[in-house]
Amino acid sequence: MQQLFNFFIKNKTFVLFLLLLSCALSLTIQSHEYHRSKFLNSSNQITGSIYGTYNGITQYFNLKKENQILLEENKRMKMTVFSQENAVPIDTLLEYKYELYSSLVYKNSYALPNNYLTLNKGQIDHIEEDYGVITSKGIVGIVDQTSKNYSRVLSILNTNSRINVKLKKTNYFGILSWDGKSPEITQLKDIQDLVKLSIGDTIVTSGYSSTFPPNMPVGTIDSYRLNDTEDLYIIDVKLFNDMKNLEHVYIIKNTDINELKALNISDE
Amino acid sequence: MNNIVLKIILSFIGVTLLQVLVCSNINFMGHINPFVYVIFILLYPVINNRLLFIFLSFLLGYTIDIFLDSGGVHAAASVTIAYIRPLFLKFSFGAAYDYQSIKFSNTDFSRRLIYFLLLIVIHHLIVFSLVIFDKTKTVLILQQALHSSIFTLILCLLFNSLFSKKEA
């Protein structure tokens, strides 16, 4: 026993080094697995407020462009409302299937293989895990961690991200993932080789998951090729969203999410 | 003594903010970001409590990890270069290190360059191999580590010459 202690005291630097290194490595491995990084992340109070202060300063630089985007979106919305024949009366009692919360992006990254965003809405604003995040142009990701005031979003530019999407024209569906290379291109897999594809086809969300409503825009086909076994396509999808430049986003709450979850649990 | 402690605390906070608010948002050529915070580990006083130094490096790396949502990647790389630093100090500065009398601002530029280069490259290799974590993408790891290292090296040398006291 004495010798053991002596050994530790003699090599205390090395022991400390090994201890800290193994801590760091286990944290790293945990972060590579989806939904496992339950330790500290950027949606906690301190980092959130620092990013918030920084965002308070820098958001002025983009005001002009953001206004432009909002104006365009408004225009589009107005057009759909006006062109609807029997316009839906605006009624506060009307029950919506999806609720939208607007939010600001405090932190965004796109250069890493596993990217996350930090948003300024959290549990106080009734944000929970698995809510979808979109912009006016297309989808952004899924909320994976929340704290009191902030939430973290698993970006579609994350190698762990899996989103159910379909071809708008033919309704064939597959899984959208990312290979970690270009922040503009994501990959759509699991589409069978007998499906007819053409470059420029639109990809939309399928609505099979409770996260996103159906027919949300995602991107267009940039190029496609067969996989190694030559029975499924790997399709490069060019995103509508500019993931490098996100400022205002919407968080989607599916009001039936609890009901759907309960159904799925009873199924298992 | 208190002066040094205060300086270390301030520079710890300073490099953290510099890294997460400025340097991680550069995205030069699409994806190249420098990890300037290693300058804290590179320029930490040579005469030190080694246990504390290793622990501080871990803390710095982990703080960066929390901000950048990268698990424990930076913590692992930082603690490694903190542990092997004496080896490289001896290699780069030779006799001066044995007398424990190095002042980084007084040393030759070429020796400082080698010291910075070696530790930065090791740090970045660890970071990128853990970030990408896929042995089929070795080329990508090397490529990204190289690009980022060059960027970090230039910035570290710049900051070092900007903030070092002139002995004139």
pLDDT tens-digit profile of B65-115?
Answer: 888 888 889 999 999 999 999 888 888 887 666 666 667 767 778 888 999
Distance from CA of B4 to the nearest CA of A (A): 22
Q: A219 or B137: which carries more pLDDT confidence?
A: A219
For tokens 């597959």, name the residue: A174
Both tokens of residue B90? 């001896």
Read off the pLDDT band of B41 (50, 70, 90).
very high
Mean pLDDT of chain B: 85
* Per-residue pLDDT, B168: 42
Name which of A9, A21, A22, A147 to mutate to probe chain B: the one with the most chain B Cβ atoms within 10 A of its Cβ: A21
**Which residues of chain B are within 8 Å of residue A24 when distances are taken between CB atoms?**
58, 61-62, 72-73, 75-76, 79
Both tokens of residue A133? 């995040």
**Which residues of chain B are within 8 Å of residue A44 when distances are taken between CB atoms?**
66
Q: How are beta strands A217-226 and A151-158 bridged, if at all?
A: unpaired
* Per-residue pLDDT, B82: 92
**Tell me: the pLDDT tens digits for A177-207?**
998 888 889 998 888 888 888 888 899 988 7
Q: What topology does CATH give the domain A44-268?
A: Thrombin, subunit H (2.40.10)
Residue B118 CB partners (closer than 8 Å, separation 6+): B88, B91, B92
Count of CA atoms in the C-beta half-sphere (13 A) of A252: 24
Domain ranges for chain A, please list them.
Answer: 2-31, 44-268
Mean pLDDT of chain A: 82
* Per-residue pLDDT, B64: 92
For A240, the enclosing helix (H) or strand (E) is none
Q: Which of B51, B55, B68 sits opposite A109 (nearest CB)?
A: B68
Contact A13 B27 (CB under 8 A): no
- The whole-angstrom separation of Cα A190 and Cα A167 is 12
Q: What percent of chain A has pLDDT over 70?
A: 90
- Quickly count: other Cβ atoms within 10 Å of residue B45's Cβ: 12
**Tell me: the pLDDT tens digits for A7-37?**
888 888 888 888 898 888 888 887 776 545 5
* Per-residue pLDDT, B13: 93
